[in-house]
């Protein structure tokens, strides 16, 4: 029964990961490990001995060999892909094929049918280096990461993955090679524990990007509801306000009014005009965004947004905006919409600083994405607000003139560009908004050895503030 539970939970975890983001190679390989491990569990469920039906003997040999041979292979390739130590796709594919060589050797040497048999001492000769190397690559990936949000996610991934890899290696391979057999029967308990850890950390912090996907779906649902609500709002409220406006204007023309009565009717008209303007503004913000795409320099579009933000700095002379361009990127997209996104984030950062502080705008790239960080050392965002600030109509400013749609618009614009926006913040330390744009939109990219930065060029200064 427990073995069946182990297989079910392994495949459930793998399915959750895969179907949340099947385009991500890291996610795919993490899922593959779970599926391979599950095959080994099915082999154990099929029993032992040669006095079983032929089809069960064949399935047992296939499933058990996949569990023993391909699971450590999947662990190694996951570590390789996750760490991104080899960025050239061709070289990485060649290495994936070369790492299959021990498996191709094992099948002719050891029996699969009618019953799987293997010398665990020989199996350990290549499985131990595979799994240990995978663990080292995961640790190295977390250690070298300097983006605080991503670093935390990688550390949590290490906490979740490395103990599981190590336990499976010890119980399934090393102890068996040393003649201590049967300890692997305790694996289901570990898998159940790991599943609970996966659910907890996946829901609260995010493992391999799962939480981001959950939040995205919730937010997209809110977006859809907000659009439907705003359409209904405009259809009903606008009509009623228009009636009030018409009737008040008719009263003004038909009835002789004293000065005070006329003034009161004018106030009513001002209120109706304000409501009509508010309704129009909400509708325009939540309408489906249509991109006018062209090729443009990402850095130049940011520079234009910085110039436009000078209007907000007029009464905030002690706020400085710094640039650190670690990549010169040309992309295909809507330059005006993205420029509006930058401007909105800069404006929010200025408003969070109480007239004094610094904003660092940093552009950098990985193999699959281009990133833009907006880092300020303002008052930060409360933890309770952090997961909701991108939601429609949610605002922390407490102003009657703020409708909680600015960051919602930024989110929508990034979604239309197949990108994403994430936020990390600590109260009284500062905030980091990170925009990501996929490489499929990149036309040209030049990585700078010396980052183009004025006044500030030390990333550590900023990451330390937010750690």
Per-residue model confidence (pLDDT) at position 66: 92
Q: What is the DSSP string of 238-250?
A: HHHHHHHHHHHHH
Interval 322-381: pLDDT, tens: 999 998 899 999 988 898 889 888 988 888 887 788 999 999 988 788 999 999 988 888
CATH class of 294-466: alpha beta
Q: Where are the alpha helices (DSSP H) in 314-393?
A: 335-351, 383-386
Burial of 341 (0-12, 13-18, 19+ CB in 10 A): buried
- What distance in Å separates the CA atoms of residue 259 and residue 261, rounded to the nearest whole number? 6
Q: Per mean pLDDT, which of 270-274, 427-431, 455-459 is the most reliable? A: 427-431
Q: Virtual CA dihedral for 316, 334, 374, 288, nearest 10 degrees? A: 90
pLDDT band at 454 (very low <50, low <70, confident <90, very high): very low
pTM of this prediction? 0.50
Q: Cα Rg for the chain, rounded, in angstroms?
A: 29
**What confidence category does residue 464 fall into, taking pLDDT thresholds of 50, 70 and 90?**
very low
Q: Report the alpha-carbon distance of residue 351 to residue 360 in Å, rounded.
A: 15
- Residue with the larger pLDDT of the pair 143 and 408: 143
Within a 10 A sphere around the Cβ of 458, how many other Cβ atoms? 12
Calculate mean pLDDT across residues 391-405: 48
Of the listed ranges 306-315, 328-337, 413-422, the least confidently predicted one is 306-315
Query: 318-333 and 356-365: which strand pairing?
Result: parallel
Geometric angle at alpha carbon 277, from 276 and 278, rounded to 5°:
90
Q: From residue 188, how far is each of 9, 11, 41, 221 by CA, in Å?
A: 9, 13, 9, 36
> Where exactly are the structural domains of the chain?
2-208, 216-286, 294-466
Kindly state the DSSP code that residue 176 receives in the 8-state scheme.
Answer: H
Q: How far from 391 is each of 152, 223, 289, CA to CA, in Å? A: 23, 8, 17
Write out the two tokens for 411. Answer: 């989110």
Instruction: Give 110-117's long-range contacts (Cβ < 8 A, gap of 24+).
Output: 112/61, 112/62, 112/65, 113/57, 113/58, 113/61, 114/50, 114/57, 114/61, 115/48, 115/49, 115/50, 115/57, 115/60, 115/61, 116/43, 116/60, 116/61, 116/64, 116/65, 116/68
Q: How many CA atoms lie within 13 A of 132 on its CB side?
A: 9
pLDDT tens profile 88-133: 888 889 999 999 999 999 999 999 988 889 999 999 999 999 999 9
Among residues 358, 334, 369, the alpha carbon closest in space to that of 453 is found at 358
Assign 205 a pLDDT band (cuts: 50, 70, 90). low
């Amino acid at each position: 029964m427990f073995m069946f539970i182990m297989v079910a939970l392994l495949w459930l975890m793998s399915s959750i990961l895969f179907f949340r983001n099947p385009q991500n190679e890291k996610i795919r390989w993490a899922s593959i490990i779970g599926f391979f491990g599950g095959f080994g569990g099915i082999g154990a469920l099929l029993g032992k001995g040669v006095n079983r039906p032929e089809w069960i003997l064949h399935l047992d040999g296939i499933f058990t060999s996949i569990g023993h041979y391909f699971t450590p292979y999947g662990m190694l390739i996951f570590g390789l892909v996750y760490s991104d130590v080899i960025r050239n796709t061709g070289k990485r594919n060649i290495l994936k094929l070369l790492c299959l060589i021990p498996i191709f050797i094992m099948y002719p040497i050891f029996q699969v049918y009618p019953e799987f048999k293997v010398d665990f001492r020989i199996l350990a000769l290549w499985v131990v280096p595979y799994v240990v190397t995978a663990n080292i690559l995961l640790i190295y990936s977390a250690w070298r990461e300097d983006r605080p949000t991503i670093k935390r996610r990688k550390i949590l991934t290490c906490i979740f993955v490395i103990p599981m890899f190590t336990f499976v290696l010890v119980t399934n391979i090393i102890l068996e090679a040393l003649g201590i057999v049967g300890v692997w029967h305790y694996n289901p308990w570990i898998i159940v524990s790991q599943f609970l850890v996966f659910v907890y950390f996946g829901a609260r912090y995010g493992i391999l990007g799962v939480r981001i996907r959950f939040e995205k779906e919730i937010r997209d649902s809110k977006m859809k509801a907000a659009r439907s609500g705003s359409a209904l709002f405009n259809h009903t409220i606008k009509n009623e306000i228009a009636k009030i406006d018409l009737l008040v204007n008719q009263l003004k023309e038909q009835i002789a009014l004293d000065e005070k009565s006329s003034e009161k009717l004018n106030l009513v008209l001002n209120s109706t005009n304000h409501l009509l303007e508010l309704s129009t503004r909400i509708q325009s913000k939540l309408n489906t965004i249509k991109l006018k795409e062209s090729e443009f320099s990402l850095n130049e579009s940011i520079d234009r947004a910085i110039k436009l933000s000078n209007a907000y700095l007029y009464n905030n002379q002690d706020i400085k905006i710094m640039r650190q361009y670690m990549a010169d990127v040309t992309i295909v997209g809507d330059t005006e919409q993205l420029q509006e996104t930058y401007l909105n984030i800069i404006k929010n950062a200025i408003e969070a600083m109480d007239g004094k502080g610094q904003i660092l705008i940093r552009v950098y790239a990985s193999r699959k994405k281009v990133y833009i960080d907006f880092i300020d050392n303002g008052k930060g965002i409360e933890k309770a607000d952090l997961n909701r600030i991108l939601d429609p109509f949610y605002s922390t400013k407490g102003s009657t003139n703020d409708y909680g749609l600015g960051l919602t618009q930024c989110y929508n614009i990034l979604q239309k560009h197949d990108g994403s926006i994430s936020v990390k913040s600590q109260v009284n330390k500062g905030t980091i908004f990170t925009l990501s744009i996929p490489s499929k939109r990149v036309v040209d990219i030049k990585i700078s050895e010396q980052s183009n930065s004025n006044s500030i060029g030390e990333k550590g200064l900023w990451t330390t503030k937010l750690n």
